[in-house]
Amino acid sequence: MRIVEGRHGLSERYVHYIFNEPPAIDRHIFNEPNSTLRTQFLKHPLMHFKRLINYSIMRIQWATKAIHVSSYPYSLIVDSGNICTLSCPWCPTGRRDTSRPRGFLRFADLKKLIDEIGDAISWIQLSNWGEPFLNKDILSMVTYCKQKGIPKTGLASCLVPIINYERLCLSGLDKLEVAISGASQHTYEKRMGGDFDKAISNLKALVSKRKELGRKTPYITWNFLVFRDNEHELGKALKIAKDIGVDRIRFVGANVAADACMTMRPLAENIEMSTDLVGLGTRFSHFTKEGKPKYPKTSCDLLWRRCAVSWDGSVFPCYMYCSQKYNLGNCFEKSFKEIWNNETYREARKIVRKSLKQEFSIEEYDKILCAICTYYGRYRYRYWD
């Protein structure tokens, strides 16, 4: 077993306990010699040539903070539906938030998007704010993405609905993250509002079926969101995960990642919520005991390398979007290329570029999500200084 501790981006403090090393398909693209796209390109150079060129151009334009870009994002999050049977209190779907339309992604709409930009995409996740297995077409969508040559496909699930595990293992899915935030019925019910034994039973059945089929994919990660009231169960969860045979268990601090809109709040509110969730200065806290962010200033790259698409085609610059009013266009009604470089997207890139130099005025950008982000917009300087 290997232990990896650190942070992901600005919002997640994590500890990984890795029982089985991830295959190349699960490693960050181009960061290791046998990384996903490089490996795939060497095997099938014609199929992945456009992806290689797109990735290279994207890196250059991100480094120069280009406003108008000629590349597509190399990774994509497409929500298969924002409906879930659980009631996680920190999730807008779990809270039954009615400010956004609810529904499921249609297979025909996904095909339209993938047919347009699939040959540039190196990684796609077909879930965001809901339970993907409630969408009856989800495995067909995964298979279609693999047929179009996308090297890495992923899903994040609570693994509550009834699933055909054999079909899941044979669908081509590369990575599955299963959210179980507790190691007993008491903590699981408090934080997710479901049946712990059922979730564990489903996870066991999936691992067993994968082993029976002799498959190494999907690579299965148990995601455990850490709160004050379940932190005492980390050791128990680790033992259960090892006994079941998952590939990895990932403990993530319930800080910014615990609420879809937390990055969009003032510092004082963020500190108050973080204190309530995991305390200050703790292993999984986002803040020190003095209330200072643990992580250094950094530059956001999402406006160049990734975007999020809701089930209805609404395009957002960030997967942490919390309101429909921040969408930048609909890629099921227009071409993605048109939206990717429309006026609002260009203004968002200007915000990130100007925020590095402390130049922009917030009044200019009231309707753009990036302007109110804690890290790059309205609260950036009082947050960090």
pLDDT digits (tens, 9 = 90+) for 8-21: 554 556 777 888 87
Q: What is the structure's pLDDT at 336? A: 95
CA distance 37 to 46: 12
Mean per-residue pLDDT of the chain: 80
**Percent of the chain's residues with pLDDT above 70:** 72
Highest mean pLDDT, choosing among 39-53, 203-217, 261-275: 203-217
Is the predicted pLDDT of residue 128 greater than 80, yes or no? yes
User: In which band, very low, low, confident or very high, does the pLDDT at 352 lie, cut at 50, 70 and 90?
Assistant: confident
What's the pTM value of the predicted model, to 2 decimals?
A: 0.85
**Residue 130 identity:** G
Is the predicted pLDDT of residue 50 greater than 80, yes or no? yes
Tell me the residue length of the chain. Answer: 385
Q: What is the mean pLDDT of residues 13-39?
A: 58
Residue 271, phi then psi, degrees to nearest 5: -65, -45
CA distance 92 to 114: 27
pLDDT digits (tens, 9 = 90+) for 148-170: 989 889 999 998 887 899 999 99
CA distances to 136, 153, 187 from 166, rounded to whole Å, are: 15, 17, 30
First CA to last CA distance, the chain? 40
Is the predicted pLDDT of residue 331 greater than 90, yes or no? yes
CA distance 121 to 143: 15
Task: Spell out the residues 6+ positions from residue 303 whose beta carbon is closer than 8 angstroms to its own.
Answer: 317, 345, 348, 349, 352, 370
